[in-house]
Amino acid sequence: MNSVFTDQRSLGVTFREGKAEVLLWSPPSETVEIRLLKNDKRLPLTKTEYGYWSLTTDELQPGDFYKFLLNGETERPDPTSLAQPEGVHGASQAIDLQDFRWTDQSWNNLPLDQYVMYELHTGTFTPEGTFAAIEGKLDYLKELGVNAIEIMPVAQFPGSRNWGYDGVYPNAVQHSYGGARGLQHLVNACHEKGIAVVLDVVYNHMGPEGNYFSDFAPYFTTKYITPWGRAINFEDAWCDGVRRYFIENALMWFRDFHIDALRLDAVHAIKDFSPTHILREIKQHVDQLMAETGRQHYLIVELDLNDTRFINPLEEQGYGMDAQWIDEFHHALRVTATGDQSGYYSDFTGISHLAKAYRDAYVYDGQYSPHRNKRFGIKAEKNPGQQFVVFTQNHDQVGNRMMGERLGQLVSFEMQKLVAGAVLVSPYLPMLFMGEEYSELNPFLYFVSHTDPDLAEAVRKGRKAEFAYFHLEGEAPDPTQEETFQQSKLQWQLVEQGPHQKLFNYYRTLIALRKLHPALRHLNRRYVEAEADESRQTLILHRWYNEQHILALMNFAKEQQAVSLDRHSGQWKKILDSADSQWGNGFLAPEFVSSPSTLTLQPESFLLYTSHV
């Protein structure tokens, strides 16, 4: 493994015993100085092995602003900066991460199979758009039943409006959100409420504006080209310094911010064919950190490959990731609920693929994919349910629509309840997208605040080309306008109103049932059966654990449909009915049913029955 310290941060500016220790990686540089803005003083760094430059000084203190001067002429912010109060082009600010007073000593994360996740974007989750404002909503999330929040990326990006995937300072927490102190305070508050924190990080690319990495070192390679340009250099010449940079970043979030899990963005776009893949090496160091601290941390990946190598354990020569997002469950559910088969939905037939997703996790596990024009995927027979994250919506599936419509704008109120049930009774980890639990009406649009006019125009053109792929006409909202950002904020007053309040109560009940019943709570995929009837658009999901059995009966049709319970013997007691008058139309299914029998399902409805045999 690389020479990385797990017990303390080594890169950038750190403080120990009243002195600043500075370590910068810049192999091409002939000279490196650090310029202190408070007195315009330049302090030279000493070159050491492998292109690192170091300095120990008492002249740089927490709170001071500084820049690096390369070869006496190129002045740049610190690529390992922890704070950029003046933005991506401004000076870096030295801070000491160790002086935060944590009160979460009794917290040690939740078992992964208990996670009920809630993805949120800091800037649009609240009117204020800050970490402090998120703290004010933690009791609401507790009432809902969520026990893990997943925060979209917070690495410093240009301006104050961005999804977060244009970050150019992976170690610096977005200043407009509250910076490093604000994030530490939020995590501490979450742990006091019993809520885990998942942080979205981006190791496959960096944003374009304020990206000065190439001035320092070969952080990028021309060997591979990604959708964002040159690939990050994880295997070409000088890659050791790049690998160390990202390993230290992962360790920093866990160690210094007490983050419980990282969600790694689009890891299929990480180009690394070295003997030890960078994800595997990150996992090795995280394991070492956990052994030293006794704290549990998870690594969750977004992966557009049905390849269990990423989530298989290290001892089986896998990369050791703890879980992955499974878009295929979403796609099969979305096609079933809406009938939309445009773009990448064209690979999915609907309810039969949804049944396969319940059984096999991957829909494509070796079959021919018409969308890709090739066979795709392998079977995931040995991977437990907690290794797959499922959802009806997320930032991509909503925000990458031209008008950013949430699912609630595309389907009926009854269908919203049905798809929520489909996710929350799955044998996988469920994730909600902020606002879906009460059917938020505002869209979630794509927005940026680039200061470079040419870059802003390139973003507009890129969005238009992307929507042309889906054969959509018209103009998308301008991502660079503040109005687009403001339109995407949640409307919290809706939670207390009419059908919005009913849907919230329905979600809360579903989540409580998932936690209560062993057959739903335990994610053993061997005890799952899913049977679809394409002609009727119905699906029966059967899950069990020890002596408890659960039947989830789903009707995606717009008409009543009959389902036979002949294959499911026993006495069944109803525990949830989406048509219940407290959140539905009052056309209730029987409280008790026995097999053999036939049951009539209401249009677009969801039923849960339980029995003990």
Sign of the C-alpha dihedral computed for residues 466, 470, 471 and 472 taken in this order? negative
* 60 CB-near residues (< 8 Å, 6+ apart): 13, 20, 22, 34, 36, 43, 66, 94
* 550 CB-near residues (< 8 Å, 6+ apart): 425, 517, 519, 520, 541, 542, 543, 544, 608, 609, 610
Distances (CA, A) of 305 to 21, 150, 223, 309, 328: 42, 22, 21, 10, 10
Distance CA 393, CA 299 (A): 21
b/e sequence 364-377, b meaning 16+ C-beta within 10 Å = bbeeeeeeeeeebb
Distance CA 282, CA 477 (A): 39
Distance CA 176, CA 198 (A): 20
* 156 CB-near residues (< 8 Å, 6+ apart): 81, 84, 87, 88, 167, 168, 169, 172, 173, 174, 175, 210
Closest to 426 in 3D by CA, of 525, 320, 571: 525
Closest to 60 in 3D by CA, of 92, 101, 27: 92
User: Residue 281: enclosing H or E segment and its boundaries?
Assistant: helix 278-293
Distance CA 103, CA 211 (A): 36
Nearest 5°: the CA angle 573, 574, 579 is 165
CA atoms within 13 A on the CB side of 485: 20
**Which residues are catalytic, by number?**
265, 302
Three-state helix/strand/coil letters over 177-188 = HCHHHHHHHHHH
